Amino acid sequence: MDSEWCPWQDSNLWLSAPEADALSPELQGHVEWMSVIIRHLACMRRMGKPMLEELTIERLSYGDEAVAHLSDGRVAFIEGACPGDRVRVDITEGKERFVRGHVTDIIEASPNRVDPRAPFEIECGTCGWQHVAYERQLVEKRDNIVAQLVKVAHVDAERAQSIVAPCIPSDRPWGYRNKLEFACATDASGFTMGYHRKGADGIVSPKEFPLGSHALAKAPKAVRGALRFLAGSNDLGIYRVGIRGSMRTKSLEVALWTEGGNFPRVAVAGTLARALKASSIVRVATGGPQGARKVKGVEVLHGTGYWKERLCQQSFKIAAPSFFQVNTEQAERLVETTLEALDVREGDEVADLYCGVGTFTIPLARTGAHVYGVESYSSSVRDLRRVAEETELDIDVIGGDAARELPMLGHLDAVLVDPPRAGLDASLVKSIAEAGPTKVAYVSCDPATWARDVARFEAQGYELARATPVDLFPQTYHVETTSILRRIRNNYT
């Protein structure tokens, strides 16, 4: 084996002759095969020639890339492609089992392909599926959930197909978001506000925001102009701006994320209040290293200090940085679908874990059940306590970690979990089973971790009965899944 091949060094796979000889014959074969691929790609790049392949696109991945197969059987992940396209692609990365590339020419366009409504959003990565017809997006989202059940939870393919319902579509494929978030920076031209450029440095500042609802149509431009005027050539210390707007209540909130320390509160509040009709302007002060910042405090600069939204006939007052679903209409469908399947009755003991501001907690309590709402994020706990007091429903709001609090709740008739993307800890799945609920509703934003946890529940005596995708995020690969697990045996009697 030639250890002086430059591609080894280019790919961080350089091996000395003794190291190569120490490998098993099977591994040596893999290494030699990979060296050919790497050397070929490297030489093509140095000669300025693209590595071109003609492919037929099969499906969309759980991500912005589409999937095809090379003639040698390797999977190809291709940016900018649509299922059914016949395309010419430039292979930019080659591995033993897969390659990556992007479309250079569309040889034959798929009937599922549509013209992108917001081409600039492709540069930002916020609308990665906008070139795919919406009806096909729904099919692909369901297929990705089925695939994760088969791959991760090891559910039989036929059973997985029968369990997963069609994806519930959004009435608004565009203009559905009640919240827009922007990155901010100060450069030679002054204050900038927009989206991080996908795969590159810098911020893109689009003129339109087609995913934002009508309530947010004019707000980003007004906020950007006001802060740019106020900053001049100075750095205001703002690194993120969040804008929430409700089509139902007309409430509008601007949240400015900064490091702790001095901040021109009065000037910022006055300038923004003159620029747009905001019902609330707040500053979220944070501390810590970038990527691990923690909220140190929230200051009300103008107005109420919270954003109002109505969902399932309930008015919510949400204070930054509390989480709330970005698609209000589809969030209602998510709640309705989940509660219909969970079928909670009056007098039931129910735990709502990772309950947030009470999106599910309040509707659950309206059934007459006694509900424990468990949430660790302090601002969300405060918001839920406020609405629980206003409604006088039978809710115990518990501020704390779900894994720690659940064992103290005793027997439960039903449990609802809506965890973050990382899903549930294995110990929490066991604790839920020990509480003895006959049904568990699991709402998830990540099909892979959800499928992993489905397998854990089935090992604890539960069976996945149904799963329904709900599209809260058209034009993107993201999807919510609401599912029901029924107890078929009790491992803890």
CA-CA distance, 282 to 478, in Å (whole number)? 29
Mean pLDDT value of segment 473-484: 98
160/64 Cα distance (integer angstroms):
24
Top-confidence range, 10-24, 204-218, 231-245, 359-373: 359-373
For residue range 315-326, what is the model confidence (pLDDT) as tens digits? 999 999 999 999
Mean pLDDT of 33-60: 64
User: What's the mean pLDDT in 354-380?
Assistant: 97
Cβ–Cβ under 8 Å, residues 82 and 137: no
31 burial type by CB count under 10 A (0-12 exposed, 13-18 middle, 19+ buried): middle
The pLDDT mean for the chain works out to: 90
The closest alpha carbon to 355, from 417, 414, 290, belongs to 417
* Distance (Å, whole) CA 74 – CA 33: 13
Of 166, 103, 162, 165, residue with least CA distance to 137: 166
Least confident of 118-132, 334-348, 419-433: 118-132
Please say if the pLDDT value at position 3 is more than 50: no
Greater confidence (3 vs 445) lies with 445
Alpha-carbon distances, residue 179 vs 41, 213, 254, 326, 333 (angstroms):
43, 8, 10, 6, 18
Q: What is the pLDDT of residue 381?
A: 97
Q: Is the pLDDT of residue 161 over 90?
A: yes
pLDDT at 331 over 90: yes
Residue 4 scores a pLDDT above 90: no
Side chain identity, residue 389: E
Task: Give the rounded percent of residues in the chain with a pLDDT score beyond 90.
Answer: 78
Q: Given 127, 167, 355, 445, which residue is catalytic?
A: 445
- With 90 as the cut, is the pLDDT of residue 466 above it? yes
Q: pTM above 0.75?
A: yes
Catalytic residue at 445?
yes
What pLDDT is attached to residue 10? 39
Whether pLDDT at 11 is above 50: no
pLDDT tens digits along 440-465: 999 999 999 999 999 999 999 999 99
Given a cut of 90, whether residue 76 has pLDDT beyond it is yes
| Mean pLDDT on 55-74 | 95
What is the pLDDT at residue 165? 98
Mean of the pLDDT values across residues 255-284?
A: 95
124-148 average pLDDT score: 94
- Percent of the chain predicted with pLDDT > 70: 89
35 pLDDT band (50/70/90 cuts)?
low
Confidence of residue 302 (pLDDT cuts 50, 70, 90): very high
